[in-house]
Structure formats: C-alpha cells, structure tokens
Chain A
Amino acid sequence: MELIPRATFEQIRRERVEEIVAARRQGAKVVGYFCIYAPVEVVQAAGAIPVRLMRGGHAAEETGERYLRSDACSFCNACMGNFELDPVYKQVDAVVGVNTCDMMRRLPEAIARHFGVPVFQLYMPRTSEPLPHRVAEFRRQLDRLADELAKLTTNAIVEERLESDIAAFNQLRAMLRQASDTRHANSPLLSGGTMLDLAATAWLLGPVKAVSLIEEVLRIVAARPRLETGRPRLMLGGSMLTEDDRWLLDMVEEKADIVTDILCTGTRWFVEDVPADGAPLDRLTRFYFSRPCMHRRPNTDLYEYAQALVREFRVQGLVYKTLLYCDPWNFETRRLQGTLGIPMLHLDTDYSTENREQVRTRVEAFLETL
C-alpha cells in the first residue's frame, strides 16, 4: 500500500492552485521556471510566487505540436500545450528560462511569441569549468534577473529578504534530502513515486508549506514498520521525469525499489545547500553554476555524481528514461551504461500512452535479469 496516496498530493495541488489564483487577484505575480538552474530564491525574494513548470502529458504534447515541430522534445511540446491546458501554467505571469540544452534555450521564445508571456532568459555557460569570466558573466545575469523580477513585481530585492529565502529553500533542500536518504535502508518505505510526488508538490507549495508536508511524511515513515523484501534496488535517470511519468515509477515499483536518481526533478535539485559564505548573489552564482547536468561540457561532474550514488545507495540497476529527441540524455546512454557498469533499462518514449504494455514487458524482463 502506498505510504501517501496519490490523491492526497492531487488534493494539495488543487488547493495550492486556488491559493495562487487568489494571490494573483491580490496583485501577486507568478513566475514559472523549468529546471534546476533557475534561482528560485531570487524569484521569491522579489515577492513573486515561483512555480516549477514540470508537467508532461500526452494531450499537452499533442497540443504543443501546433506550435513546434513534432521532433521538438516531448517536454518542450508539452510545455507549449500546457500553457493552454494546465491550471498552473495558465497562472504564469512570466517565465525564467535558462540556457541549458538547445531546445530549452529556444522554448521561451516560442512561449513569448505564442502566449505573450514575458520571458527572462538567463544565460548560464554550458561549459562546466568555473573559469572566472564565465562565473562573472553568470553573476551578472543573476543581477539582471533580479532587476527584471523587481520590475515585474515592483518589489526591490533586499539582501535580508534574499538571505531569508536562501535559508528557506535550503531548509526545503535539507528536508527533501532527509526524505530521500530514508531510502538508504533496505526495502525503504518511501517509494520513488512518492519521492517524485513530494518534490513536485514542494516546488508548487513553496518552502514553508512544503517543509511541513515533508515533516509529516517523515513522521509517517518513522512510525511505519519496515519489512525486508529483498527487492532489487534501482536508480532512475534520464530526461526530466514529470508527475505525468508517475505510471512508470509505479510499474517499476511493483517489483523493485527505486532508491535514488540522477534526475533534475529529483536529487539533483536538493543534493546540496546553497553555500553559507559570501554575499547572497555570489553564493547563488557559485551554487547554480556548479549543478551537474548531462548537457554541461564536459559532463564529468554528472558522471561522478551518478557513480557516487550507485555506491552510496547500493544500486543494482538503472532505469533510464529519455524523451524522444532529447539529445543530451539520449546520446549518453551507452557511455553511461559502460561507466556505471550496472544493468540498464533504456526507455526512449514520448508521452503517449499506447505503448505502456510494451514498456511493462520490458520492465518486467529487466527486473527478472537482476
């Protein structure tokens, strides 16, 4: 039985959307962002409500294909579609885009053109070596973003507020880490599916409410007896997994435990805190610049991160789901498998639902080999 029913998260989500709608009526601004490089602390310090735009879905993808070609990655197409379909996306007053992969770099332009939503395009170097001029430019970009957000909300960003928001998001990171770390145990109680729900809900709720929610979940975990099942311990990886991919996690967790991940919608968001030393924007610069991702060049840090998790969480297999036309993750499939040296199930799909039974067959066959 699921530790926290899915319906509970859905209810929390609906209530939060109502709150956001009400806040907007009072003049609040909602700022959407996509990935782990968006400095949510700055958004919140400007008095805006940051919401992570991380829905997929088949209907959204099909709708999005009216704006982009069908060989744009499924997530980009779904983003476009969700600006028509999803209640959270419809509340967005502005979008913070980041120069990550090429498609995500270009997505904000399409959003601005077709939906008239202002976009703040943050340039973050793709090269990962933190050379002074690269870091300095990223720092300058954060300054510009802060200015743009201040214009949007008419709230100047003051240092005390930014410090306080850094602390708040650090606390959220720490709590998500704590929840995720319960999966160090054999046969963990917290499933990969619940962890995904928890993180996705946290990014919608904001740090204060999300921390309360996670504390409650941790209390439930602590109170519940744990049975040794001896099921295989798996890691998740690949392109962005959204709430709409929950079905895959459920399918895998019928017979295995997902104990960790290298997802941007998973551990990579909360693996570390924003450092404590230095001026707030300097710290945010260092922190966000150093996040590992497959699209960075070279992407050695991501490989090292994955290897460390495999050791730390005693991972026996990798479920690697890429989205169609997601080059950064797709291209690395073979290299990653070779480097990690563990069995890998690679699923390359869009958000369509017709292939689920085929996926089930492949998942079951993979699990049998472990």
Chain B
Amino acid sequence: MSLTGRTGLTSEWSDPKPARVEFGEWLELFDRVPDELIERYHYYSNGEAWSKYLFPPQTFAIYGARHLRRLKYDNSLAALRMWGFVQNETERLFRARQAGRRVIATMGDLGAVPVIVNSFPGCVAFYPDCIWWTPFAMESQVLFDAAAELGIGDATCFSRAALGAFAKHSYFPDPDLVIASTGASCDDYSGVEQLAEQFAREMLWVEMPMRCGMGPIEPMRRVLVEEYKRVVAAMARLTSHELTDDELRSGIRRANAVRKTVARLRELAYGGGVLAALEMMVVEFGNLHHYSDITEWTAVLEHLLATAEERAAKGERVVGEAALRVVWVTPPADPLLLTYIEDAGARVVGTEYVINQALQMIDESRPPLDAIAESFMAASLIGTSQSRAETVIRQARERQAEGVIISGILGGSHCAMEARLISDIVKQELDLPVLEFDVAPPSNEIGRQLQTRIDAFLEVLRSRR
C-alpha cells in the first residue's frame, strides 16, 4: 500500500501482495523498509533515538524470543510495525520509569482499570498477566520455575509466569502501585496476585462482583463503581493529582478509539480474512492495556486498519476464502497453534478469549466511572459458562462457523469447570463439531498427538461440507 494517505507518511512504500510469511522472509521485507520510516515510529511520542521500535524480528529473537522463528506473519508494514511495538514493551516500561513516569501494575480484571490509570497524567498501566506469553515466546521455563519456587507448580494456568516475573525484577520495573482485581475471577490468577503481594510496594485489592448472583446486576455494578472510586483515590494519593471528570472522559475516549478500531479490524479479519489470526490475537489483547502506550498503539492500529481496509477494497485476503471457518474459545497460549491451524487450511472467524469486557465500547454519555463499570459487567470472566457459550454461538452463527475449538490449560480453574459445559451447549445449539484440548507447556513444536487431533478435526469439518 502507499503510505501517503491517512497515516501521513511521505515515503513511498508498497506492501507486497498479502501473504503470511516466515521469519526469514520477514527479515528480507524489513531490509526494504526505508530508513525514514524506521526513524518515524517512536513510543511515548518521544522523538529521541532510544524510543524507536521498528526493529527487524531478529532483534527480538536474539534477545530471547526464539519462538518468533517458527511463526508466520502478515507481510504488511503495519504488521511489521505492530510486532516491533509489541515486542518492545519490556524496554518501554523500563524507559517509562527512567523518564519519570509512574508504572502501575493492573492485574486480574483485564481491561477496565487501565482506563482509569491511563487518565492520570504521567502514568503507565500494564498487565503482568500478559507475561503468560513470554515463556512461549522464549521457549523457556525460567519464569515457571521462579513461580514454582514460590509455591505455584505446573498444574496451573500459564499466567503463573507473572509471579515469576515479579520475583525476577527484570521483565518490568517494580511497579509504583499494584492494583489487584479479584472476586469473581479465576483461582489461578487470584493466587498469583496473593503471592505477588510480597513483591509489591503497595497493593490495592479491588473486588470484581459476580454477574450470575441472585437478582439484577445493577447493584453489582454499583459495587464496582465504589471499587473504582478507591482506584481513583489510590492513584490520587500516589500522584498527588486530583483526577478531573474531563481527564477521565478523555481517557475513556482514547480507550474507545482503540476499541472502535479493533471492532472494525475484527469485522474485516474475521469476516473478510484480510488479517490472520495471530496478528488478530495480538490486536485483541492490545485492548487490555494498549501495550503500555495508548497513543502509539492507537497509531499502530490505525495503520493496521488502513492496510486491512485497502485489502478489503481490493478484494485481497491473507487467508483463503475456502478455508474452514472456526471460532476459537480461550486464547491459545501458544501462538504456534494459530499459525498451525491456518497452515492446515482453516481460519478463525470469531473468538472468545475471556477478554470481551475490553472489546465493549464505554458509554461516553454516562458518568465516567459508571460507564466503565457498565462495560466491565459484560465480562466473560464474571459470568456463567452459559453466557460464554452464547457469545460463541452468536459469532458462530454470524460467520457460519463450521467448528469450534476450545483450547484450555491443564489446571486452569475456569477451563476445568467451563470447557465441557461450553462444549455441550454449543453442540446442542449448533450441532457443530467441537475440539477441546489443553495447550502444552512451551516448546519449539506442537506435539504430534495434538497435531493429529487438529488434523482429524479439520478433516471432519471438511467432510461435512
């Protein structure tokens, strides 16, 4: 594509014909990127050399993200930029501390508290939870071993890596404040939070009410509003800044801009196949905390959206139209799985990654904390399996999905309780094949048994056509 239009670039750059490329091809692609573009992208709106992030993938692989060598990537500049930005997050957080920003760990709620934190001037919210991906990217057990030394062993959600990261003090700066949301949450992560408290300078516990209690949900929402007031008060104490309604509204608008862009990307990718599942997982998870820099993440997403819309307009796709259509439930901890399933002739047309609260728009006409609470009350995490199943069913119907994949984690509390229920409900409602499996620990390949199961599942889908 030509980057002279909505992204405001002056350099000419033409994306190659859309495709998923391997690591080596990605490097070749990078060699063609003009220096002017490399110089152009900076995080924290900072023009200095240290804040550049458009590096070749090899940079991140050399620094430990070995898994990158095994994945396939969208070959657009926008995707290249996205990967550079996302991979750069650890550096970015340490830079934030150096630059005098407050670094706030938000844990457990996946999507709401960062909207408040980011509304405070000079504050950066991040999710230690998202470190779950790091052992896979690194193909390493280091963080899991560190968690095990503190008491959380193997038969637990991969999010235990966050505890290891707290103990190591090198994956993110020691946070100025830890805001730990718990309540109607998974046990694994609530346990991680409890043990992480020993590393926290200050920890604020936030209650997340349950949506499936008796009676209407409005009182639960009011509980959440009171909890958010505590977040605002704690942040005010930390920063000596009284947050105004205008600042919070502005924070909501920025979060909504991201959410709106992601909603459009979901339509284009899951509806039209213009982006692959791997990039879309990264995009969806960006709604949680915007990879610690909402301004630049917004720009990255707009770039990606421009690419996606141009492809849609030209009728170009990155995954084939004839690919088998599946809805994916619960994030695959291992990005290799998303790569594999697309290689095997399927494409993801819907997701239920337990982060749907971060995909909801926040009502800008309502009092800000009420509106944030309202959007959070839609969270999969705090509701029933029935409600998650309905989300899956709705998307499956909308996109004429041919199958549903539920990937779980051995010992993950909600996986253990929900997977079979969701599977039963989906089968009963839609008469679709459902494949359920557990994601294996970090490795440089997908286990043969799992590969066979995925292949057999896709065969079944093909035979039903």
Contact = CB atoms under 8 A, between A and B. Distances in A.
Q: Which of B155, B213, B412, B418 has the most CB of A within 10 A?
A: B213
B210 A71 contact: no
Nearest to A324: B155
B443 interface: no
B417 A121 contact: no
B212 A121 contact: yes
B213 A99 contact: yes
B28 to A, nearest CB: 44
A284 interface: no
Given A144-B215, A145-B214, A327-B413, A69 B151 contact: no
Interface in B401-452: 408, 410-421, 424
B413 A103 contact: yes
A72 interface: yes
Given A297-B182, A327-B413, A133 B226 contact: yes
Contacts of B188: 327
Contacts of B210: 99, 105, 121, 123
Contact-residue size bin, chain A (C-beta under 8 Å from the other chain): 35 or more
Contacts of B182: 126-127, 297
Interface string B344-358: 000000000000000
Contacts of A1: none
Interface string A81-125: 000000000000000000101110111011001000000111101
Nearest to A66: B420
Contact of B205 (A110, A127, A144): A127
A141 interface: yes
Given A127-B183, A299-B194, A327-B191, A102 B414 contact: yes
Contacts of B190: 102, 126, 295, 297, 327-328
Nearest to B212: A121
A148 interface: yes
Contacts of B185: 102, 126
Interface in A161-203: none
A275 interface: no
A297 B414 contact: no
Q: Which of A129, A298, A325, A331 has the most CB of B within 10 A?
A: A331
B196 to A, nearest CB: 11
A15 interface: no
A125 B207 contact: yes
B386 A125 contact: no
A255 interface: no
B222 interface: yes
A134 B420 contact: no
B304 interface: no
B89 interface: no
Given A141-B213, A331-B195, A297 B416 contact: no
Nearest to A137: B223
B258 interface: no
B377 to A, nearest CB: 13
B151 A328 contact: no
A137 B220 contact: yes
B156 interface: yes
Interface in B362-392: 384-386
A342 to B, nearest CB: 17
A69 B205 contact: no
Interface in B185-221: 185-188, 190-195, 197, 203, 205-207, 209-210, 212-215, 219-220
Given A122-B214, A331-B152, A331-B194, A71 B187 contact: no
Contacts of B152: 331
B184 interface: yes
B269 interface: no
A140 B218 CA distance: 12
B183 A140 contact: no
Nearest to A99: B210
Contact of B184 (A105, A137, A144, A330): A105
B213 A106 contact: no
Contacts of A21: none
A102 B108 CA distance: 13
B411 A71 contact: yes
Contacts of A140: 215, 219
Contact of A71 (B213, B223, B386, B416): B416
A352 to B, nearest CB: 16
A335 B195 contact: yes
Interface string B33-74: 000000000000000000000000000000000000000000
Given A137-B220, A297-B193, A68 B420 contact: yes
Interface in A132-153: 133-134, 137, 140-141, 144-145, 148
B416 to A, nearest CB: 4
A334 interface: yes
A76 interface: yes
B125 to A, nearest CB: 20
Contacts of A67: 420
Contact of B417 (A99, A106, A331): A106
B155 A71 contact: yes
A333 B151 contact: yes
| Top 3 A-B residue pairs of the complex, sorted by shortest distance between their CB atoms | A123-B213, A327-B187, A331-B191
Interface of B: 150-153, 155-156, 180, 182-188, 190-195, 197, 203, 205-207, 209-210, 212-215, 219-220, 222-223, 226-227, 230, 384-386, 408, 410-421, 424
21 contacts: A99-B213, A102-B414, A103-B413, A105-B210, A107-B417, A113-B421, A123-B220, A126-B182, A127-B182, A127-B207, A133-B222, A137-B222, A298-B197, A324-B155, A327-B188, A327-B190, A327-B191, A328-B187, A328-B191, A332-B191, A332-B195
Given A68-B416, A113-B421, A144-B214, 17 more contacts: A71-B155, A71-B415, A76-B417, A102-B414, A103-B187, A109-B212, A109-B386, A110-B417, A125-B207, A126-B184, A134-B207, A137-B220, A297-B190, A297-B205, A299-B194, A327-B411, A332-B195
Interface of A: 67-69, 71-73, 76, 99, 101-103, 105-107, 109-110, 113, 120-123, 125-127, 129, 131, 133-134, 137, 140-141, 144-145, 148, 295, 297-299, 324-325, 327-328, 330-335
